[in-house]
Amino acid sequence: MAKLYSEKTPQIKNDLNPKEETVNFLLNYSKALSVIDYNKLKFEALLN
């Protein structure tokens, strides 16, 4: 059966508060990630 879209959708909350350790992990990961372009290929290297 078809889904009815006439009902109200729940409001999206934008109050996301990540932990400090999560932010630090993502920052450290992005600092260690290296992308190397060779011809038409891309290589990802994690420099840890």
Check: CB of residue 29 under 8 Å from CB of residue 45: no
Model confidence at 30: pLDDT above 70: yes
| pLDDT for 28 | 92
- The pair of structure tokens assigned to 25 is 């992990």
- What is the helix (H) or strand (E) element at residue 35, kind and residue range? strand 33-38
- The pair of structure tokens assigned to 44 is 């990802």
Mean per-residue pLDDT for 12-22?
A: 86
Average of per-residue pLDDT values in the chain: 84
Angle, CA 25 vertex, CA 23 and CA 30 arms, to 5° = 95
Mean per-residue pLDDT for 20-44?
A: 93
Cα–Cα distance for residue pair 30/35, rounded to 1 Å: 11
pLDDT band at 4 (very low <50, low <70, confident <90, very high): low
